[in-house]
Amino acid sequence: MSTTDNLISQLNERLAQLHIIHNEIGTSTNKQQQQKQLLFEAMIRAADQHVDQVVNERNALEDNIHATHARILTLKRLMGEFVTDNGFVRKDTLLATLQDLEMEKQVVQKQYEKRLEGVLVLQQELIRFRECLQSFVNSELITEEDTNVSTPAVAAMEEEIQRCQHEFRARTQYLDKCVKQIVDLWMVLGLLPQDDRDSDLYQLYDADVTAPEKLALYNKLVSDDNIHDIEQRIKELETLQLEREFRKQEIVHRLNHLWDRLKVPKNERDAFRQKHSGLKEQDIQEYEKLVNDLSKLKSERLDDFIQGAREDLVRLWDQLYFSREERQKFKPAFEDQYNDHSLDLHEKEISRLQLLVEDRKYILDRIERYTKLTEEVKEFEEITNDPSRLFSRGQRDPGRLLREERFRKRIARELPKVKHELEGALLEFEVTHDKPFCVYGKPYLKEIMDSNINGPSDTGNSRTPRRHHIQNDIEEEIYYSKAATSPRYKSPSARRIFRTPQPRRTYDFNARLAQINRPNPPQRQKSSTDEPSILHRVRAHNIRKRRAAIAKAGRSAQDRTSGSSSDYTFDSGLFSDTAANDENTAPSDNGSEHLTTTPSHQKLKQRASPKLFSDDDDALDFDIFDDGPELSELSADEA
């Protein structure tokens, strides 16, 4: 018999027994039907409740199966595996399916936990860096649950840890630099730590701190907030240092001024500076105390200070070439007042003039150079106007002429250049300031433009003056010799005429000939100062002597062509050493012209084609230029 048949049989028995009982009681038929209906409904409700309970149990098994499967997928994804949610393999019953999934979950969970151990170590390192580096650390890599243990996640953590290590190392180095800077500022300013952070910084600077303690201080001080506070602390100390430096500079400026006025010895100044060289408050107070003491002493010696300031004003006025009117514009310098206000006015005027000297330095230097050169030219002309400087007994100076010529070349080279620079500077000053530059009240540009000083004049020149009257006698001075018939004869060249290497004297013969052919400039009226000097007379004597020698040589050449010859002839003063020396010899009293005779066998060596000579072509004996006194000693020699 099946369970259902047994249930029905028992139910029928119970219903029959219930009917008998109702009959005994006398229950009506309707009431019996109602009670029977209630019994059937209660039985159905009990069956439904049981069915619902079993259904819930089944649903719970299914939910557990799905949850276990989802957890397996999650763990696999956290380990970096690529999985898809395509369902799972179902067994015959739900319990069997759940049992298989639980076994798979245990295997995957062990793999995940094994990887999680290493990842947690990395996370702890990141958490430690986050505590000291704060916002610098990427906090997204730190998770409380479902930690990603895949290979990319581990690599990202390791890279982040390495980045944090570099940042930590950089911050510690920067912190060491800041700590050293702060401690140095404390030492310079004479300050001590003021709060707990300053104490930590000073402790970090201490070399006796152990490595663990130092690391703990680093972890505490390398945070963003602490770094910012330390930077602000450095700025505050630097600002305080600048304030004290400016304050000290102002005091030192006043102190130097007082030292200069009181003429304090340099060793005392250096000793005070060395003793109080820092920026401590005590040093500043010592400077202020000394300034106050010297200020009191200055008040006692105010007259001397004002007098010294006036001497400085005079020096600056002279340096700026101020006129009397310009100097009198500063009235306190000419008033009989000796007080602090007058001294302040003097010092302000001195500062203004010093700036003016700096502004006009270029012009002032050129004026000084130009004035020096013009004075040298005037002094040179005064010396060279005395012809006796060359012939005075006991004072002969063979090298004087050469030094004079060098002086002329130097002046001719430097004076125009300096004058040109000075004129340009004066013009620029006049355009810029809308007024001319004045020297002692007079426009200096107009003064130098009106000046005729361009170099040493020819008056008193060591060379013989140019002759402008030879135009009419040019044909007499040029002698054209005939061609030599003997192959042994060699016509003397222009260089052989002078017998010494003088290429510049024969380099441009045609140019000199063209210069001589120019019309003579109009002769100015002679004044009382145009009397020929002894050098002019010596020059004229030598010219007459040369003309006579050339004429004599021409007549001798004509005699040789006609077959006549002589044993002696006159030699030109140009070709003899005697004539060269005669240029520096004064003529005799009777004015006679000396002619020398030469044997006929020496005439061929001395004969030369006539040349036209200007005053630069005169033969000189350069053996006379020995080491004599310098040109600057010419005035002393004359004295």
Other beta carbons less than 10 A from residue 386's beta carbon: 13
Other beta carbons less than 10 A from residue 163's beta carbon: 15
Per-residue pLDDT at 269 exceeds 70: yes
Q: Is 438 helix (H, G, I), strand (E, B) or coil?
A: strand
Per-residue pLDDT at 429 exceeds 50: yes
In angstroms, the CA 88 to CA 103 distance is 14
In angstroms, the CA 168 to CA 171 distance is 5
Nearest to 632 by CA among 370, 406, 417: 406
Query: Of 289-298, 510-519, 530-539, which range is least confident?
Result: 510-519
The pLDDT confidence band at residue 87, using thresholds 50, 70 and 90, is low
In angstroms, the CA 238 to CA 185 distance is 8
Q: Is 568 helix (H, G, I), strand (E, B) or coil?
A: strand
Q: What average pLDDT score do residues 305-332 get? A: 92
Per-residue pLDDT tens digits for 224-247? 899 999 999 999 999 999 999 999
What's the confidence (pLDDT) of residue 340? 84
Q: Give Rg (Cα) of the chain.
A: 62
What's the confidence (pLDDT) of residue 362? 94
Q: Who has greater pLDDT, 493 or 342?
A: 342
Exposure pattern of 48-58 as b/e (b: 16+ CB <10 Å)? eeeeeeeeeee
Q: Per residue, what are the HEC states of 314-351?
A: HHHHHHHCCCHHHHHCCHHHHCCCCCHHHHHHHHHHHH
- State the residue for tokens 């290979």: 151
Which residues contact residue 242 at a Cβ distance below 8 angstroms, ignoring those fewer than 6 apart? none
The pLDDT confidence band at residue 214, using thresholds 50, 70 and 90, is confident
Per-residue pLDDT at 567 exceeds 70: no
Task: Output phi, psi for 438, to 5 deg.
Answer: -110, 140
Q: What average pLDDT score do residues 615-632 get? A: 41
CB 586 within 8 A of CB 391: yes
Q: What average pLDDT score do residues 301-305 get? A: 85
In angstroms, the CA 445 to CA 433 distance is 14
Query: Of 184-198, 223-237, 515-529, which range is least confident?
Result: 515-529
Mean pLDDT of the chain: 76
Q: Who has greater pLDDT, 322 or 523?
A: 322
What's the confidence (pLDDT) of residue 552? 80
CB 441 within 8 A of CB 368: no
Which residues contact residue 425 at a Cβ distance below 8 angstroms, ignoring those fewer than 6 apart? 362, 363, 366
Task: Find the length of the chain.
Answer: 639
Per-residue pLDDT at 173 exceeds 90: yes
Per-residue pLDDT at 223 exceeds 60: yes
What's the confidence (pLDDT) of residue 250? 93
Q: What average pLDDT score do residues 488-499 get? A: 42
What's the confidence (pLDDT) of residue 326? 92
Which residues contact residue 473 at a Cβ distance below 8 angstroms, ignoring those fewer than 6 apart? 547
What's the confidence (pLDDT) of residue 515? 53
Query: Of 28-42, 79-93, 515-529, which range is least confident?
Result: 515-529
In angstroms, the CA 215 to CA 476 distance is 113
Q: Who has greater pLDDT, 306 or 461?
A: 306
Q: Which long-range contacts (CB under 8 A, 24 or more apart) does 491-494 make?
A: 491/608, 491/609, 492/606, 492/607, 492/608, 492/609, 494/611
Burial class (CB in 10 A: 0-12, 13-18, 19+), 530: exposed
Which one of 192-206, 402-416, 452-466, 514-528 scores highest in mean pLDDT? 402-416
Per-residue pLDDT at 593 exceeds 70: no
Q: Is 395 helix (H, G, I), strand (E, B) or coil?
A: coil
Which residues contact residue 553 at a Cβ distance below 8 angstroms, ignoring those fewer than 6 apart? 479, 569, 570, 572, 607, 610
pTM of the model: 0.46
- Cα 634 to the chain's mean position, in Å? 47
In angstroms, the CA 337 to CA 344 distance is 12
What single-letter amino acid sits at 173?
A: Q
pLDDT above 90 coverage of the chain, percent = 34
In angstroms, the CA 76 to CA 83 distance is 7
- State the residue for tokens 């006194």: 629
In angstroms, the CA 295 to CA 302 distance is 10
Per-residue pLDDT tens digits for 553-562? 777 766 665 5
Which alpha helices (H) appear in 336-439, and where do they start and end?
340-359, 361-384, 400-433
CA distances from 312 to 67, 261, 318 (A): 104, 11, 10
List the domain boundaries for the chain.
3-106, 464-518+533-617
CB 549 within 8 A of CB 572: yes
Per-residue pLDDT tens digits for 364-402? 999 999 999 999 999 988 888 877 766 665 556 677 888
- Cα 114 to the chain's mean position, in Å? 65
What's the confidence (pLDDT) of residue 252? 93
The pLDDT confidence band at residue 355, using thresholds 50, 70 and 90, is very high
Q: Per residue, what are the HEC states of 465-507?
A: CCCCCCCCCHHHHCCCCCCCCCCCCCCCCHHHHHCCCCHHHCC
Query: Of 206-210, 346-350, 374-378, 518-522, which range is least confident?
Result: 518-522
What's the confidence (pLDDT) of residue 350? 93
CB 419 within 8 A of CB 372: no
The pLDDT confidence band at residue 466, using thresholds 50, 70 and 90, is very low
Q: Is 615 helix (H, G, I), strand (E, B) or coil?
A: helix
CA distances from 257 to 260, 285, 340, 452 (A): 5, 18, 14, 47
What's the confidence (pLDDT) of residue 490? 45
Which alpha helices (H) appear in 193-223, and where do they start and end?
196-205, 211-221
Indicate the helix (H) or strand (E) that contains 536. Answer: helix 534-561
What's the confidence (pLDDT) of residue 560? 64
Q: What average pLDDT score do residues 269-285 get? A: 91
The pLDDT confidence band at residue 541, using thresholds 50, 70 and 90, is confident
Per-residue pLDDT tens digits for 116-153? 999 999 999 999 998 888 888 988 888 888 888 889 99
Q: Is 442 helix (H, G, I), strand (E, B) or coil?
A: strand
What's the confidence (pLDDT) of residue 622? 39
Q: What average pLDDT score do residues 334-339 get? A: 88
Tokens of 556: 């001798």
Which one of 33-42, 411-420, 526-535 scores highest in mean pLDDT? 411-420
Distance in angstroms between the alpha carbons of the first and the last residue of the chain: 173
Task: Output phi, psi for 44, to 5 deg.
Answer: -70, -40
Q: Who has greater pLDDT, 477 or 289?
A: 289
CA distances from 44 to 33, 41, 49 (A): 17, 5, 9
The pLDDT confidence band at residue 473, using thresholds 50, 70 and 90, is very low
Tokens of 419: 């004058």
In angstroms, the CA 39 to CA 629 distance is 162
Q: Who has greater pLDDT, 419 or 196?
A: 419
pLDDT above 70 coverage of the chain, percent = 72
Task: Output phi, psi for 50, to 5 deg.
Answer: -65, -40
Q: Who has greater pLDDT, 350 or 206?
A: 350
What's the confidence (pLDDT) of residue 494? 40
